[in-house]
Structure 1
């Protein structure tokens, strides 16, 4: 095999490996990438980076970036019970955990 052909094959192999490795880190926190529905408790937190946004820090240790968090729940340190759906095909500039849609949310600190 001639040198240019060897170099072309080596470049192609390097490119394929690079793309496959880069794609492995694109999900928001590992695990399943289906439209999984999750329930749990956590704390709504305001994060100042990327222009500022509210996210849910789950008691399960995961971070959730809701696309539709109601203004009534946009309170820093608010304890909530939630039912959410992962949106694996959505991305966010926040780069903070899973992008999710809130299906149901309740204030746990209310009397």
Structure 2
């Protein structure tokens, strides 16, 4: 191989490394989200290391790099909700998060703590996977469920329908873990309880921050459960929910959480 050929190959290698450097390409996107518009809530942030840049830390624990965040929302700490579509093969000068195109951006005014908001976001996704009877969707955010077979999952969800998140309590939280409990209702497909076909269920949970966002890593029954599943108990919990959230269905929070 002559000297000119070697130089050409060297220059080509440098060019390829420059073009495909992680500093200028979007962070790899989740295939399930590509070409799909999804709804998210999160907090605007302005990393001090990147002058003039505003990103969003989603309540799912994922960093999003918006290509069209309106100027009025470029405020550190602002809580917003938005629709997003991930942009693959999109070049950027920032190496920060998944590049996304936003729409329907609005500010959220809520007294709900960030940890509780993150838990609500993930728990709603969990119950949605039950409502749609989608094991793959469940296993994406619920590590515990990955031991389930399709047959086991189908047999269980066949008993219930219309899962509704009712109330969430956070007992402990830090930057990597959130623990608490939640209450939700579900309708029995072929059954009846003291209050019709609506069953009240409760569980404890632990959410953990992973490289791909928040995941449910532990779940169980409430120990020394203080509630008796009755129509009165359900009514009391709904009143408690309305007082705290102004709704007894957490899926209605912020219109489309």
TM range (shorter): 0.5 to 0.7
Distance in 2, matches of 1:30 and 1:90, equals 11
Q: Which ranges of 4 or more aligned residues in structure 1 deviate by more than 2 Å? A: 33-36, 48-52
Mapped pair 1:28 → 2:27: yes
- Aligned pair count? 88
> In the alignment, which residue of structure 1 is the partner of 2:74?
74
1:86 counterpart = 2:83: no
CA distance in 2, matches of 1:98, 1:56: 10
Post-superposition Cα deviations, 1:42-96, rounded to whole Å, max 9, x if no partner, equal 0011112233300110000111100111110000000011101111121222111
The residue number in structure 1 matching 2:64 is 64
- 1:6 is matched with none
**1:89/1:29 CA distance change after superposition, 3 Å:** closer
User: 1:36 Cα shift?
Assistant: 2.6
- Once residues 36 and 27 of structure 1 are traced to their aligned partners in structure 2, the CA distance between those partners, rounded to angstroms, is 17
Matches within 5 A, 1:2-13: none
Residues 60 and 29 of structure 1, relative CA distance in 2, 3 Å threshold: farther
1:2-58 Cα distance to aligned partner (Å, 9 max, x none): xxxxxxxxxxxxxxxxxxxxx8x8651552172231211100111122333001100
- Which residue of 2 is the match for residue 102 of structure 1? 102
Q: Is the 8 A contact 1:78 1:109 kept in 2?
A: no
TM-score (norm 2): 0.31
Rounded to whole Å, the distance in 1 between the matches of 2:44 and 2:108 is 11
CA distance in 1, matches of 2:97, 2:63: 5
Unaligned runs of 5+ in 1: 1-22
Query: Contact (CA 8 Å) 2:66, 2:101: kept in 1 or not?
Result: yes
Q: Which has the higher helix share?
A: 2
Cα distance, 1:106–1:42 mapped onto 2, change above 3 Å: same
Cα distance in 1 for partners of 2:74, 2:26 equals 25
Say which structure, 1 or 2, has more relative contact order (CA 8 Å, 6+ apart): 1
Q: Partner of 2:53 in structure 1?
A: 53
In 2 relative to 1, CA 28–36 (structure 1 residues): closer, same or farther, beyond 3 Å?
farther
